[in-house]
Each structure stands twice: as C-alpha cells, then as structure tokens.
Amino acid sequence: MKILLISPNTLTVPYPVYPIGLDYVAGCVAAEHQVRIADLNVLSLAALAELLRDFSPEIIGLSCRNIDNTEAGEPLFFISAYGELVAWLRERSQAVLVCGGSGFTIMAERVFAALGVDYGIIGEGERFGLLVEALHRGLDPTRIPGVISPGSSPATPEPWPGQQVRAFRPQASHVEFYLKKGGMLNLQTKRGCSFNCIYCPYPHLEGKKHRLAPPAEVARTALDLQEAGARYLFLTDSAFNSDVAHSLAVAKAFKDAGVSIPWGGFFAPLRLPTDYFTRMAEAGCNHVEFGTESLSTAMLAAYRKPFGVDEVFAAHQQALEAGLHVAHYFLLGGPGESPATVAESLDRIEQLNKTVLFFFIGIRIYPHTALYDLALAEGKIRPETNLLQPLFYQAEAIDRDTIAAQVTARAGKRGNWLIGSGGARSAAMVKKMYDRGHTGPLWEFLAG
Ligand code: B12
C-alpha cells in the first residue's frame, strides 16, 4: 500500500522540532509497502497537493504532537487548523486518514472528534503497522488495542511490547531542513517515565515502566545521525536520567562509538553520583535542561517531585562545574501555591547562578493525572469538562496574573528570566542565529 505520513507541526517556538515520532511510525510498516513523509515545515500546501496527486496515498497518517502551547499568557491552539487540514486532505484524496501522536493520546476521543479522521491510534505509533496490515487484508482495524474509530472509545493500550524500529532516511527532504536550521536531530534512549509528578501526562503517554534501548544501539543511531550531518542531538526522553545507570551507560557508549557532536536533553535534578555531569560532559553533553518546577519545599512535595531543594542546588552546581550550559523549567500555580511559596521559590531561584530560567505560569489540567483527580474532587472541573481547550489549575491562594506580576517584577531587566519558552522574540533570535550557522537550542546566549 502507499502511505503518506504528515507532520503538520509548524510551530517555531522555541525552535522547529524534527518529527522523530514519524521515523518510528515509518519503521513499523512492513517493507512491501511504500512510505513517504511530508513535513509541513518544508512542504507548502501547493507542494503537498502535488504530492497527493503524484503519489496517490491509500493511507495518510497525521501526527498530532501539540494540541496547544500550554502557555496561559500567550495561548496558541492547534487542533482547529489540523481539522481544516483534514478537510483539505479529504477534498484531494480518498485515502484512509489515521491520527496519532502525543497530543492525540493525551485526549484521544476529543481530538478524534475534532479532526474527523477515520481512525486514531492511542499510545505508541508502532501499532500503525498492524493497522496497515488490517486495511491491506480487508480486516477490521478496531480489533487492534488502542485503535479508535467513530463510535468506539477504547482504553489506552499497554505499552507496545514489540520492537521499536526507527526508519531514519538521511536523504529525506525534511532532514535537510533541520540540518540547515540549527543542525539538530533527535534521539530517544528509552520509553516510559517512572516519576509520579501530579500534573504530568508522560506516564500515560509512554507507560510508567522504563523500556531501555541498549546503549550500544542508541550510540549507533547517534553515529548515523552524525554521519547524516547532524551537528547537535536532542535526547527526547521525558527525563534522560530517570534511570541514572542507563544514562551513564548511554554516555559511555557515545564515547566508545566516537560520537563527537554535542548533545543535551531534559534531566531531573536528582541526587546523583558526584562525577555524574563530568561523565556526561566527557561524552559530549553540553546542555542540561532541568525540570525543576519549583524551589518551594512545600510545592515540590505537593507536585510529588522526586527531589528536594538541596538536590536541585547540588545538581545545578555539579553541572556548572562540569562546564555545561544549564537551564531550569519552573511550573508555578499548582495546588497550595501562594504568594509566600512563589516568593520562597523566587528567593532561591535568585541564588541559581549562570542559568536560564523558563517560567510556565499555570498548570494545564490533563486527564489521567493526579491533578485531574484533585481538580475534580475540588469541584474545579466536572467529568464532562472539555479539556481540549486548555484549562489551567486555579490555586486557592493566588491567581496566575498575580504570579506573573511577582515573577516579572523579580525578573526586572534580566534577559535570562523568560516567561514560557520565550515567545516570538527569542524564537526570532534563534532563527537569526540558525541562519548564521549556529547550532543547538541556543538558550545559553540568554544566560545571566
Ligand atoms: C522533548 C520534548 C520537547 C523538546 C523538543 C526538542 C526537540 N529537538 O525535539 C522541547 C523542549 C523543545 C519541546 C518544546 C515544546 N513542547 Co514538548 N515535549 C517533548 C517530549 C518530552 C518528548 C517528545 C518526543 O520527541 N518524544 C519521542 C517521540 C519518539 O515520541 P512521539 O513524538 O510522541 O511519537 C510517538 C507517538 O506519539 C506516536 N506518533 C507520533 N506521530 C504519530 C503519527 C501517527 C499517524 C501515529 C499513528 C502515531 C504517531 O508514535 C511515536 C512512536 O511511538 C514530550 C512529552 C512526551 N513524553 O512525549 C513533550 C510534548 C510533546 N511537548 C509539548 C509541548 C506543549 C511543547 C511546546 C509547545 C512547549 C512550549 N510552549 O515551548 C513546545 C513546542 C515545540 C515545537 N516546535 O513543536 C506537549 C504537547 C501536548 C500539548 N499540550 O499540546 C508534550 C506532550 C508535553 C506535555 N505538556 O505533556 N518539547
């Protein structure tokens, strides 16, 4: 069969991201079928129309990575545009339309209804291969766990038990786009998140148990990406070091394999071996993005973060001493937040030197999280509340505007304190630097 996989994500804030999910979806399709990827960061609608005419796909897979930008202050919502794209595709193609992706899985039934596609795949995209075979043989795809169709509402399936195969094709036209704009390609070292943070949908997306890719295999893929021209690798794991031993083994495998380009990813500021970040740095790591979320002792406990204030400072210091660029993400406004807890966080944040701070103010309520259950129990939402349009948790003692005013006042003129991921201004700066040949996430240029 002829299959077209579309990435409609053209968001450039904080920078355009390589659609790695589609490499895995392409990798699970049997070799007898033809698969092409259309990335709308590269293809205009006119070029997509031409591709539909020339290739005439029988199945179109649409990736829904982002529902919205989760920024309460500068909200963007993407589902309406994806719905329009589906209608546009229907006018030009008879193909069966299938949707999947992290945004889709977070609220599958809502997104499915909003898009009007034929099938959706909840959870990991590897089941797309089974759906293609079912359609090929005239069988009913809804027998596959997690496949949704009009009228059916399956539960999220167990994590994919089989192999994960990444079909990376260096010659694909979209690869060149990312190589030219920042040189960044993506790499996944494991699936699953074992943390219990109350607001987070990651365990729902990837499962709670880690499934670790063999370090040597990860390093081989890293080398493939490097040989394809990548000048930076972003490790897309929910938290690269949620299995500390595995992250060290991956770093060692990079060194052994001769991976020589820099890389970075999300880290949790856990209690770590004293030489942890030195070993990361020796393996080429140069950016550490900490999912710190708060520096109030009470709020870290309320969020059920797997670390406390002391661990954050120790990890920060260790990463700086290893010569790494360090950023922290903060998530303010959860249950129990108050002017005092915000002030406590900000006082401690002032003591984090040489870093970039991304403040997300207001926590989006996602189904399948403890925050959802709490908001329900507190009467802030009802079971029928539509959460597709972002709804942010409202703390009893402080509202988002007051938190934003508190952060903005404290930030003063400092350029390294950013609300959200920095908005259009910092994205424009990144674009300019990419055009001049700079690579990587580049937020270190804002470090104070
Ligand atoms: C790493 C990451 C980032 C990095 C990306 C760096 C990079 N170079 O790529 C950074 C920090 C830059 C980032 C930024 C943003 N991110 Co982000 N990010 C992630 C994270 C942790 C992993 C994404 C990833 O690459 N996973 C690995 C790949 C292999 O998985 P995947 O893409 O999900 O694909 C699998 C399945 O989803 C499925 N699939 C994918 N496509 C398709 C298509 C079909 C047809 C099918 C059947 C299946 C399928 O199959 C794949 C294999 O199983 C996710 C959370 C998570 N754990 O998923 C959030 C996540 C995707 N991000 C999210 C958001 C909101 C953003 C931002 C908008 C935040 C902001 N305001 O800055 C920006 C958007 C950036 C952009 N230009 O699009 C949200 C999206 C949900 C939502 N509310 O819309 C998520 C889910 C986090 C969350 N809040 O829950 N992000």
Alpha-carbon distances of 372 from 89, 123, 194, 254, 361, rounded to whole Å: 35, 19, 19, 39, 17
Model pLDDT, residue 423: 87
- For residue 396, the model assigns a pLDDT of 97
How many whole angstroms separate alpha carbon 423 and alpha carbon 212? 34
Six token digits for residue 204: 């729902």
DSSP assignments along 149-208, one per residue: -TT--PPPPPPP-S-------TTSHHHHHHHHTT-EEEE--EE------TT--HHHHH-S
Best probe residue, ligand 1, of 59, 102, 166, 360 (max atoms within 8 Å of C-beta): 102
Gap from CA of 17 to ligand 1 centroid (Å):
9
Atom of ligand 1 nearest to the CA of 12: 77
State in Å: Cα 344 to ligand 1 middle: 31
Q: Cβ < 6 Å from ligand 1: which residues?
A: 9, 11, 13-14, 16-18, 20-22, 24-25, 61-63, 65-71, 98-103, 106, 121, 124-126, 128, 184, 186, 188, 201-202, 205-206, 234, 236, 238, 420-421
Q: Which domains does the chain have, with CATH numbers?
A: 2-148 (3.40.50.280), 174-446 (3.80.30.20)
What distance in Å separates the CA atoms of residue 306 and residue 304, rounded to the nearest whole number?
6
Side-chain-side CA neighbours of residue 269 (13 Å)? 29
Ligand 1 atom nearest 390 alpha carbon: 83
- Residue 78, number of CB atoms within 10 A of its CB: 18
What is the pLDDT, as a whole number, of residue 448? 66
Beta-sheet pairing, 211-212 with 190-191: antiparallel
Residue identified by tokens 């998140």 is: 193
**Cβ pair 46, 77 in contact under 8 A:** no
Residue-level pLDDT at 425: 85
The DSSP bridge partners found for residue 425 are none
| 20 CA distance to ligand 1 middle (Å) | 9
Q: Closest Cα to atom 37, ligand 1: which residue?
A: 101
Look at the alpha carbons of 412, 69, 194, 255 in this order and tell me if their dihedral is positive or negative: negative
Q: pLDDT tens string for the chain (448 positions)?
A: 999 999 999 999 999 999 999 999 999 999 999 999 999 999 999 999 999 999 999 999 999 999 999 999 999 999 999 999 999 999 999 999 999 999 999 999 999 999 999 999 999 999 999 999 999 999 999 999 999 999 898 899 999 999 999 999 999 999 999 999 999 999 999 999 999 999 999 999 999 999 999 999 999 999 999 999 999 999 999 999 999 999 999 999 999 999 999 999 999 999 999 999 999 999 999 999 999 999 999 999 999 999 999 999 999 999 999 999 999 999 999 999 999 999 999 999 999 999 999 999 999 999 999 999 999 999 999 999 999 999 999 999 999 999 999 999 999 999 999 999 888 888 999 999 999 999 999 999 987 6
**What's the rounded Cα separation, in Å, for the pair 297 and 313?**
13
State which H helix or E strand residue 5 sits in: strand 2-7
Whether 189 and 213 have beta carbons less than 8 Å apart is answered as yes
Q: Which residue has the tokens 């926590």?
A: 363
Burial class (CB in 10 A: 0-12, 13-18, 19+), 151: exposed
Q: Which helix (H) or strand (E) holds 314?
A: helix 309-321
Of 165, 281, 160, 287, nearest to 217 (Cα)? 165
Q: What pLDDT, on a 0 to 100 scale, did the predictor assign at position 153? A: 85
Rounded (5°) CA angle 267-422-417: 75
The rounded Å distance from CA 24 to ligand 1 centre is 13
Residue 379: alpha-carbon gap to chain centroid:
30
DSSP string over 274-285: TTHHHHHHHTTE
Q: pTM value?
A: 0.97
CA 66 to ligand 1 center in whole angstroms: 7
